[in-house]
Amino acid sequence: MTFFPEYVGPAAFGIRMGVIGPGTDLERLVVDAVIQCNHDELLDNGDVICITESVLARSQNNYVTLDEIAQEFRAKLNLTESGKVGVIFPIASRNRFSMIMEAIAKAVPRGEVVVQLSWPTDEVGNEVISEEFLAPLGKTLYDIITPAELEGQDFSHPITKVDYIKLYKEAIKAIGAKATVFLANDARAIEGYNCDGIIVADIHTRSKTKAAVDEISSNSMTLVDICSDENQTVWSEWGLLGSNMSAAGKLKLAPRSASAFAELVQQRIMDRIQKRVEVIIYGDGAYKDPTTGIYELADPKPVFGATSGFSGAFREGVKYKYLADIGLTSGRNEHEIEELLLQKQAESYEQNQVETEGTTPRKLEDVIASLADLVSGSADAGTPVIVVKGFFRQ
C-alpha cells in the first residue's frame, strides 16, 4: 500500500533533480530517485517513469556543430559553395529551425538558399502570414505568394512576436548566401527555382512531401538523413528531427537508442527494489493549444523510446457517463450502477459499439507523454523525471 489511497485515479508528479550534463550517469540518478520515491511510499507496480529526452541527449553528449552539419549537407547533396539549395516547409521556430537554417547556408556560403514556406501556417499551426495581409491579395491555398509580394511586409508572429520570414532571411544572409523566400503549399512549386538539391524540412508530413519532390528532383533528402549514421561519434536515428538549438554554434540532437535506455532503467529498478514499472523517454506532448491553434508537437513523435509494456497498448474503454445514464434511467440505485460499470468494463467491445462511443482509442504512450510534458513544462520545471500512476492495471 502506497501513500496514494485506492480512491485516487490517474495522477502524475515531477521529481526534482540537479543539473545533468555530458557524461552524467543518468541511469544511476533516475534509479536512485525512483528508489527514494519507493522509500517514501510513492511508487506502485505499474507506474510509469517518464524521462525527458533533453536530459538523455545531454548526458549522451549528443551535440553536433553547424559546420559539421553543413559539411554533411554539402556532401550528400553534392553541393558547391556557390550552389543553390532549396528548403521546403521548415517550421517557424527559433529553437527548432533557425540554427539548421544557418547550417544550410553554411553549405552554400557563396550561393543561394531558396526557402519555400507553407501558408497561412506551418505544419504545426504557427502563423506565417496574417489574414490582414492575405485579404487584399485574393489568393487561394493553391496559389504561390512570391518574394516580391512578401517584400517590405511585417509578419510578426502574434504570440512570439518574431517575423520568421525575416529571421530566416537574416540567418542566411549573415553567412553570406543569397536568401529567397516564397510561399506555396504544393511542394513541387520549388521546381521553378532550379535548385541543385532540395532539403525536405517538414516533420510529420515529410514522407508525403518527399514523394512530391521526387517528381521534380532526383537530388533531395529529409532531415532524417543528416546526423543519423550510427558510425559517427554524434548521431541519432531521428537525424536532425527533434533537435534543439544549443550554445557555441551547436545543435543538440534527439537522444539515440532511447528504448534501450528505457529498458535498462526498468531492469535496474526491478533488480534494486523488485518493482515492475514501465519507462518512456518523452519529448513534446501531442497537444493543440485551443487559443493559438498551435500543435505543440515539433518532435517527430511524443515518445522517442519506451519499454515493451507499451507495445500495442491503447487507452480505451466503455463510455462511463453513457452507461451511468442508462442505469439511472432504468431505476437502478448507485450501488447497482457501480456493479453494472464493473461488469461492462470486464466485457469486450468493438470500437463501433455504442458502449464505447466517444472513447477514441489513443496510443497509451502518447497520452502519458503528453501528460508528462504538461507537468514538466517546456523548461522542464526542474523535474526531468515524471512519475505517472494509474494507467497500467496490476
Amino acid identity at 193: Y
Whether 308 and 326 share a structural domain: no
Query: Is 233 among the domain residues?
Result: yes
Give the contacts of 128 (CB within 8 A, at least 6 positions apart): 92, 117, 118, 119, 120, 121, 122, 155, 164, 165, 183
CATH number of the domain at 80, please: 3.40.50.620
**Model's pTM, two decimal places?**
0.87
Whether 73 and 218 share a structural domain: yes
Query: Is 44 among the domain residues?
Result: yes
The domain in which residue 44 lies consists of 11-61+255-314+363-389
**Beta-carbon-side half-sphere exposure of residue 201 (alpha carbons within 13 Å):** 28
Query: Is 260 among the domain residues?
Result: yes
Maximum CA extent, the chain: 80
Q: Measured between alpha carbons, how far is residue 35 from residues 42, 172, 271, 390 in Å?
A: 10, 49, 11, 19
Amino acid identity at 367: V
**pLDDT tens sequence for the chain (394 residues):** 567 787 888 899 999 988 899 999 999 999 999 999 999 999 999 999 999 999 999 999 999 999 999 999 999 999 999 999 999 999 999 999 999 999 999 999 999 999 999 999 999 999 999 989 998 998 999 999 999 999 999 999 888 899 999 999 999 999 999 999 999 999 999 999 999 999 999 999 999 999 999 999 999 999 999 999 999 989 999 999 999 999 888 999 999 999 999 999 999 999 999 999 999 999 999 888 888 888 889 999 999 999 999 987 776 554 555 555 565 666 666 666 566 655 655 554 444 333 344 456 788 999 999 999 999 876 446 899 999 998 886 5
Whether 236 and 168 share a structural domain: yes
Whether 200 and 308 share a structural domain: no
Residue 350: all three cell numbers together: 468493438
Amino acid identity at 179: A
Residue bearing cell 532550379: 194
Cβ distance 245 to 94 under 8 Å?
yes
E-only strand ranges, the chain: 11-15, 48-52, 63-65, 84-88, 112-117, 178-183, 197-200, 220-222, 244-245, 250-252, 278-282, 303-306, 314-315, 362-363, 385-389
